[in-house]
Amino acid sequence: MLTRLAPSLAMLLLAGPILLGLTGTLLPAFGYLPALGGMHPTGEYLARLLQEPAIFHSALMSFAAGLITAAVSLTVVMLFVGGWAGTRLFSRVLHLVSPLLSVPHAAAAFGLAFLVAPSGMIARFISPELTGWTRPPDVLILHDAMGLTMMAGLVIKEIPFLFLVTLAALPQIRLAETRALAASLGYGRVAGFLFGLWPQLYPQIRLAVFAVVAFSSSVVDVATILGPTSPAPLAVRLLGWMNDPDLSMRYLASAGAMLQLIVTAAALGAWTLVERICAALRDSFAAAGKRLRRDHAIRIAAFAAMTLSATVVIAGLGTLAVWSVAGLWQFPHALPKDFTLKSWIAAGPRILSPLTTTLVVAFFSTLLAVALTLLCLAREDEKGRKVRRGTMLLFYLPLLVPQAAFLFGLQLFFILTNSAASIVALVFAHFIFVMPYVFLSLSDPWRAFDRRYDAIAAGLGKGAWVRLLRVRLPMLTRAILTAAAVGFAVSIGQYLPTVLIGAGRLTTITSEAVALASGGNRRVIGVYAFLQMVLPALGFLVATLVPALLFRRFRAMRV
Amino acid sequence: MAQKGLELQSVTIALEGRVLVALSRSVAPGDVLTLMGPSGSGKSSLLAYIGGFLDPVFSASGKVMIGGCDLTNLPTEDRHAGILFQDPLLFPHMTVGGNLAFAIPASIKGREERRNRVEEALEGVGLAGLAGRDPATLSGGQKARVALARVLLSSPRMLLLDEPFSRLDTELRQQVRELVFAKARDSRLPVVLVTHDEDDAAAAGGDVVRVGSQ
């Protein structure tokens, strides 16, 4: 009964808010918002939007950020997997990169900012010896007008994501055999991979790549921390209008959200064009029999790019940690003169409430997502195993529609029902983004479970619930807790849902941290961003330790 | 008392409209019906149909009766069809004793009583005293015996064997095979055996049905 309802419930809880939210954004965009007295449809706000200064510049930047971030991250991942899959170095890099998936975007962005700013760690390390700088140089690195630093901040987070998604798809292709075959025909490693395997691999990760395009073209937190300011990318400006004390600005914000929807759709459309061009190029190279035998440089470059991106995140997080305990730290010293817990003690009392909200919301949204995922997967078993494309699309939907486009409307809905800024509404809003990741990370191990165990238990006379609780769930403990840790990390990283649905009254570590960005107090930012990074890590620690302790006597239950 | 034989009445299994297996047979208590055939011939699907865990991609019809009681529409857990697969599939998160206790019907109460049954079952397959062990530490032959003890403890009405000896080496194979058939005879259970191996069929001694041969 419960399992039969689960898929419909998932559909309702994921697609429902998106449709409701889109409607709630669309109507005010055309002037219809009875709560504020807007009764008649009008094109006035769309016209006003188009007259906003540099609005096309903002839109173009968002569009470009989506395409460039996806192109760069995917290229690095593709060439690295092609050049190194199956080597020992590959698994080393995997261990380096995979934990980075859990780092919230904002924390990674702060880390990058602390590294590359004119007074950042890199400048300190090379000054004054190499540069002669005794004070930070006056160059615009953060918030550069082209948005390069912002895109870099996105790339270092999207690389681990695409890398892990690609890895999950790898077992479904015949890597070793195809490589041997391609090599016997005289093709280099990378060429063999691109011609022989990538065409099979790409369709399986395509939705994830789309998610990267959509996210990067509509991101708010990373853009606030690293992005250009005059003008800012579209989504950042939208949020500004949304938070304007003048309520009539909501019309403009909603009209802007519609533009955001168009920009993201255009970026996705352009991406499919890029796909076609690249495929045609690949096919013509393959047809011409280009062997690319000397691909050493490509392989080294891909490895370097991969390691560099991971190193940047790790070094950035380290810098954040140091800043949070830094005493006096003058430029160009590489380390603070003294260390102090003053920043932590000062922030302590103020952190307690956002910290509680963060944990409560992350816990419950994850719990809900894990429970619903398990029920959906159990239902899939009952019906016979067929993963329909439609199901996958449903789970990717919240990652493909720009957040602003439906969260504005959803916020309106919560305000109208008097439930904005309630924990329940916030849990629910986070759930929309947690669920896809939990489902994606749990479905593979669930489907890989040997169903003969289930048949045996049934043959022993055990009913469905006993089988689930005594056999399947215990055997999948590690996978379930890992999926939960992923969900927990996703919830902790959420910025826009927190700001909009929390309506400024419920704040989390992430929303507080991003709010501190403009203030530029590095010690306080260090404290918040450090917490942002530690909380997901704690989740993964629990996911590793608990099964290890529970099953310490059972050898086959170890990894 | 009525004979608790297994009866298959015009059982048909089809995949995408193609009939894989169609047969009617009865198996008396203690007897073995052997199904032989190439892989993909549907012999394991027939076993799954009898046990009630056939993948929904197959379509199947026909009656499965035991001792005059119709199982066809019952869920697997109410059929009491004990299954042994190629692999012993001991639950890796339970001790050997835990695996066995899990199989004892809940109607048998009392910690002491249940523990005695576990010990007896282990003695019955020559593994006395191993209740506390992690199944992962057992040898292949020991695991196969525990799997047998586990299925017998659940008071099954029949045994379904899906190539259960094929992973064992020749000597062990013979031992385990004899043990399984002896136990089935002792408990007067009808047995359906799916195998590739002519020796299995010969040792089973009952009817042999060849599936999928033209």
Q: Which residues of B touch A554 (CB under 8 A)?
A: 92-94, 134-136
Q: Which residues of A touch B136 (CB under 8 A)?
A: 554-556
Picking from B55, B81, B91, the nearest residue to A459 by CB comes out as B81
Q: Do A459 and B80 touch (CB under 8 A)?
A: yes
Q: Do A459 and B89 touch (CB under 8 A)?
A: no
- Whether A465 and chain B come into contact, CB under 8 Å, resolves to no
- Whether A447 and chain B come into contact, CB under 8 Å, resolves to no
- The confidence score (pLDDT) of residue A394 equals 85
Q: Same structural domain for residues A313 and A357? A: no
Q: Same structural domain for residues A347 and A321? A: no
- Whether A79 and chain B come into contact, CB under 8 Å, resolves to no
Q: Is residue A271 part of a domain?
A: yes
Q: Is A301 exposed, middle or buried (0-12, 13-18, 19+ CB in 10 A)?
A: middle
Q: Do B134 and A555 touch (CB under 8 A)?
A: yes
Alpha carbon distance A35, A413 (integer Å): 11
| Residue B2 pLDDT > 50 | no
Identify any residues that bridge with B33 across adjacent strands, giving them in sequence order. Answer: B192
Q: Same structural domain for residues A375 and A486? A: yes
Q: Which residues of B touch A455 (CB under 8 A)?
A: 48, 51, 53, 76, 83, 85
CA distance, residue B208 to nearest chain A CA (Å): 24
For residue A161 the two structure tokens come to 């994501």
Q: Do B136 and A554 touch (CB under 8 A)?
A: yes
- The confidence score (pLDDT) of residue A419 equals 83
Q: Same structural domain for residues A256 and A318? A: yes
CATH number for position A408 = 1.10.3720.10
What was the ipTM of the complex prediction? 0.90
Q: Is residue A153 part of a domain?
A: yes
- The confidence score (pLDDT) of residue A385 equals 60
Q: Do A462 and B77 touch (CB under 8 A)?
A: yes
Q: Do A459 and B105 touch (CB under 8 A)?
A: no
Alpha carbon distance B165, B150 (integer Å): 16
Q: Same structural domain for residues A262 and A371? A: no
Q: Same structural domain for residues A29 and A69? A: no
Picking from A450, A458, A553, the nearest residue to B134 by CB comes out as A553
Q: Do B56 and A384 touch (CB under 8 A)?
A: yes
- CB atoms inside a 10 Å sphere around CB B24: 12
Treating both helix axes as pointing N-terminal to C-terminal, what angle do B140-153 and B170-186 enclose, rounded to 10 degrees? 10
CA distance, residue B149 to nearest chain A CA (Å): 12
| Residue B8 pLDDT > 60 | yes
Identify any residues that bridge with A326 across adjacent strands, giving them in sequence order. Answer: A339
pLDDT by 10s per residue, chain A, length 559:
678 888 888 888 999 999 999 999 999 999 888 888 888 888 889 999 999 999 999 999 999 999 999 999 999 999 999 999 989 999 999 999 988 999 999 999 999 999 999 888 998 988 888 888 888 888 888 899 899 999 999 999 999 999 999 998 888 888 888 888 888 899 999 999 999 999 999 999 999 999 999 999 999 999 999 999 989 999 999 999 998 888 889 999 999 999 999 999 999 999 999 999 999 999 999 998 888 888 899 999 999 999 999 999 999 999 999 999 998 898 888 889 999 999 999 988 899 999 999 999 999 999 999 999 999 998 888 776 655 667 788 888 999 999 999 999 999 899 888 888 899 999 999 999 999 999 989 988 998 899 899 999 999 999 988 999 999 999 999 999 999 999 999 999 999 999 999 988 899 999 999 999 888 789 999 999 999 999 999 999 999 999 999 998 898 887 6
| Residue B123 pLDDT > 90 | yes
CA distance, residue A181 to nearest chain B CA (Å): 29
- The domain of A544 spans 1-33+341-559
Residue A113 and residue A122 in contact, taking contact as beta carbons nearer than 8 Å: no
Q: Where are the domains of chain B?
A: 6-210
Q: Is residue A501 part of a domain?
A: yes
Query: In total, how many domains does chain A have?
Result: 2
Picking from B91, B103, B137, the nearest residue to A453 by CB comes out as B91
Q: Same structural domain for residues A331 and A425? A: no
Picking from B76, B85, B92, the nearest residue to A556 by CB comes out as B92
Q: Is residue A157 part of a domain?
A: yes
Q: Do B51 and A459 touch (CB under 8 A)?
A: yes
Q: Do A551 and B93 touch (CB under 8 A)?
A: yes
Q: Do A459 and B93 touch (CB under 8 A)?
A: no
Q: Which residues contact A558 (CB under 8 A, 6 or more apart)?
A: A548, A551
Average pLDDT over residues B56-69: 90
- Whether A288 and chain B come into contact, CB under 8 Å, resolves to no
**For residue B50, what is the nearest residue in chain A, using CA coordinates?**
A459
Q: Is residue A100 part of a domain?
A: yes
Picking from A384, A467, A554, the nearest residue to B134 by CB comes out as A554
CATH match of B6-210 with 1.10.1060.10: no
Residue A238 and residue A219 in contact, taking contact as beta carbons nearer than 8 Å: no
CA distance, residue A376 to nearest chain B CA (Å): 17
Q: Which residues of A touch B80 (CB under 8 A)?
A: 459, 461
Q: Same structural domain for residues A107 and A253? A: yes
Picking from B52, B89, B135, the nearest residue to A452 by CB comes out as B89
Q: Do B92 and A459 touch (CB under 8 A)?
A: no
Q: Do B83 and A474 touch (CB under 8 A)?
A: no
Q: Do A456 and B135 touch (CB under 8 A)?
A: no
Alpha carbon distance B124, B145 (integer Å): 9
Distances, alpha carbon A533 to alpha carbons A113, A255, A431, in Å: 15, 35, 20
**Domain boundary pick from A292, A322, A338:** A338
Picking from A382, A455, A553, the nearest residue to B76 by CB comes out as A455
Cα B55 versus chain centre, distance: 18
- Whether A474 and chain B come into contact, CB under 8 Å, resolves to yes
**For residue A463, what is the nearest residue in chain B, using CA coordinates?**
B77
Picking from B53, B55, B91, the nearest residue to A458 by CB comes out as B53
Q: Do A474 and B93 touch (CB under 8 A)?
A: yes
Q: Same structural domain for residues A328 and A346? A: no
Q: Which residues of B touch A384 (CB under 8 A)?
A: 55-57
Q: Which of A385, A460, A465 is the best residue to mutate to test the B interface, defined by the most B CB atoms within 10 Å of its own CB?
A: A460
| Residue B103 pLDDT > 90 | yes
Q: Is residue A203 part of a domain?
A: yes
**Domain boundary pick from A287, A321, A338:** A338
Q: Is B42 exposed, middle or buried (0-12, 13-18, 19+ CB in 10 A)?
A: buried
- The confidence score (pLDDT) of residue B1 equals 35
**Domain boundary pick from A315, A338, A361:** A338
Q: Do B151 and A474 touch (CB under 8 A)?
A: no
Confidence of residue B214 (pLDDT cuts 50, 70, 90): very low
User: Comparing C-alpha atoms, which of B99, B97, B84 is closest to residue B179?
Assistant: B84
DSSP per-residue letters across A497-545: HHHHHTTTTS--HHHHHHHHTTT--HHHHHHHHHHHHHHHHHHHHHHHH
Q: Tokens 């932590």 belong to which residue? A: A344
Q: Same structural domain for residues A473 and A355? A: yes
Q: Is residue A45 part of a domain?
A: no
Q: Same structural domain for residues A364 and A296? A: no
Q: Same structural domain for residues A29 and A78? A: no
Query: Whole-prediction pTM value?
Result: 0.89
Residue A323 and residue A97 in contact, taking contact as beta carbons nearer than 8 Å: no
Picking from A459, A463, A556, the nearest residue to B136 by CB comes out as A556
Q: Do B80 and A463 touch (CB under 8 A)?
A: no
Q: Do B93 and A383 touch (CB under 8 A)?
A: no
- Return the H-helix or E-strand segment holding A186: none
- The confidence score (pLDDT) of residue A39 equals 85
